[in-house]
Amino acid sequence: MQVLNLESGSPFSMGKGKNWSVLNPDVGAEHITLNHAVHSPGHEFTQHLHDDSEDVIIVLEGDVHLRQGDVYTPLSAGEAAFIPAAEVHGTVNRSERDVRMISFQLPPDLALYRGERNIGEGKTPRPEQGAKSAVQIVQMSKGSPVFPAVPAVRNVFSPLKGTKQAVLDFLILQSGQMWQYSNVNPESVIVVIEGKASVASAGTELGLSRFDVLFLKGEQSIAVMQTGAADAVLLCCSAAAPPE
Question: What pLDDT, in 10s, does the model give residues 155-201?
Answer: 999 999 999 999 999 999 999 899 999 999 999 999 999 999 999 99
Domain enclosing residue 228, as ranges: 142-239
Looking at residues 207-211, what average pLDDT do you find? 97
Name the domain count of the chain.
Answer: 2
Q: Which of 21, 15, 58, 23 is nearest to 40 (CA)?
A: 15
CB-based contacts of 132, cutoff 8 Å, min separation 6: none
Last residue of a domain, one of 138, 156, 174: 138
Closest by CA to 90, choosing from 63, 126, 62, is 126
- Predicted confidence at residue 225, as pLDDT, reads 96
Distance CA 146, CA 160 (A): 13
pLDDT at residue 136 above 60?
yes
* 153 and 53 belong to one structural domain: no
Strand-pairing partners, residue 217, are 187
Res 147 pLDDT > 80: no
pTM for the model stands at 0.94
Q: Binning pLDDT at 50, 70 and 90, where does residue 97 land?
A: very high
pLDDT value at position 242?
63
Domain boundary among 89, 121, 138: 138
Looking at residue 202, what is its pLDDT?
85
Q: Are residues 98 and 200 in the same domain?
A: no
Q: Is 93 left (phi over 0), alpha (psi -120 to 50) or beta?
A: beta
Q: What are phi and psi of 228, to 5 degrees?
A: 80, -175
Q: 77, exposed or middle or buried, with CB in 10 Å at 0-12, 13-18, 19+?
A: middle
Residue 27 lies in a domain: yes
